[in-house]
Amino acid sequence: MTGEAALLPEPAERYLEHLRTERRVAARTLVLYTDALTRLTSGAASLSLPLQALQPHHVRMLMARAHAGGLGSRSLSLQLSAWRGFYRWWGRQGGVKLNPVEGVRAPKAARPLPKALPVDQAVALAAHAPEAGDECLRARDHAIVELLYGSGLRVGELVGLDVRASDSSAGWVDLADASAQVRGKGSKWRSVPVGGASREALAAWLAVRHEVASAGEPALFVSQRGTRLSASQVRSRLKALALQAGLPTSVHPHMLRHSFASHLLQSSGDLRAVQELLGHANISTTQVYTRLDFQHLAKVYDAAHPRAKKKSG
Indicate if 185 belongs to the active site.
yes
Instruction: Please tell me the distance from the alpha carbon of residue 119 to that of residue 146, in angstroms, as a whole number.
Output: 14
Contacts 24+ apart (CB under 8 A), 73-82: 73/106, 73/107, 73/108, 73/109, 73/110, 74/109, 76/106, 76/107, 77/106, 78/32, 78/36, 79/36, 79/39, 79/40, 79/106, 80/104, 80/105, 80/106, 82/32, 82/33, 82/36, 82/37, 82/40
| Amino acid residing at 197 | A
The one catalytic residue among 67, 254, 291, 296:
254
Indicate if 20 belongs to the active site.
no
- Alpha carbon 54 to its chain's center: 38
Indicate if 257 belongs to the active site.
yes
Instruction: Please tell me the distance from the alpha carbon of residue 72 to that of residue 106, in angstroms, as a whole number.
Output: 9
Instruction: Please tell me the distance from the alpha carbon of residue 256 to that of residue 33, in angstroms, as a whole number.
Output: 44
The one catalytic residue among 39, 140, 263, 280:
280
The one catalytic residue among 154, 199, 237, 252:
154
Partners of 171 in the β-ladder: 182
Name the burial class of residue 151, with classes exposed (0-12), middle (13-18) and buried (19+) by CB atoms within 10 angstroms of its CB: buried
The one catalytic residue among 15, 33, 149, 289:
289
Indicate if 60 belongs to the active site.
no
Indicate if 154 belongs to the active site.
yes
User: Residue 105 CB: number of other CB atoms within 10 A?
Assistant: 11
Indicate if 289 belongs to the active site.
yes
The one catalytic residue among 57, 65, 164, 185:
185
| Amino acid residing at 257 | R
Residue numbers annotated as active site? 154, 185, 254, 257, 280, 289
